[in-house]
Structure 1
Amino acid sequence: MRLLSDDLPYEIDNRYLGPPGRSLPFAIRYSAVAVGLVIFVVVLWVARRMGASGLAVVPLALAVAAGITTIAMRLVNHDRSVVALLIAFHRELHTPRRPRTVARADFGSATSRMPVRPLPPRRKGRAPHARRGRP
């Protein structure tokens, strides 16, 4: 009978260190490769939609995708997977929120939108600046 230890999440086998005989100066997680590929395709698609073209787009998209992947993978560890991070991001965007009350103010030719909170009800019988216990 073989017993599995609790150290499975900490195994180093989930990192790519480079080809045999030649190691990279950094370790790359296998999950980061998949996430980086998806982000690279999305960045290329956004660049094309913005009208960018030419040979400089691919290296620029690769650099942007590497940066975004590095930032995103800092949040991923053995306790929080990429899928859990995506679900949390989706729920944060689609959670129901209380609608804001917005009033319009007219300042000549320009109008601005300002959030307005209702004032608490005033107490009757004394001035708002009066203090209790003092003459």
Structure 2
Amino acid sequence: MAMNSMMDSAAEAGVNEAAALSAAACMFRSLGDPTRLAILRHLALGEHKVVELTAHLGLAQSTVSAHLACLRDCGLVTSRPQGRASMWSLATGAELLDVLAAAERLLATTGDAVALCPAYGEEASR
């Protein structure tokens, strides 16, 4: 239903439907990595430096920085300088949290189906 309303709104605004679908797919791909989701979840608690994220996630600084760059390029996070470091935060907190909450509700409804999906499930990524 929400995708239909998104497409209806796009059509009313004169937006190309194919472009709107492509943009939506790109956004979902940006959310399709467990590390990026973990970063977003942690940033939902408030601003953090890269060093804090690396300690929390147990990942290399270069890995966290690369994921933050992806999320920044997608417009999902932003940073501000603080001394020699940068403080990272959610760029669109309320909207992003709404999407993640909707995803959690959908996962609760579908159960293990997505994890077992032969095309996108856990076995497909191995």
Task: Compare the two structures and name the one with the higher helix fraction.
Answer: 2
Compute the TM-score of the two structures, normalised by the length of structure 2: 0.29
Larger relative contact order, structure 1 or 2 (CA cutoff 8 Å, min sep 6): 2
TM-score, normalization: structure 1? 0.28
Please tell me whether Structure 1 or Structure 2 has the larger radius of gyration of its CA atoms: 1
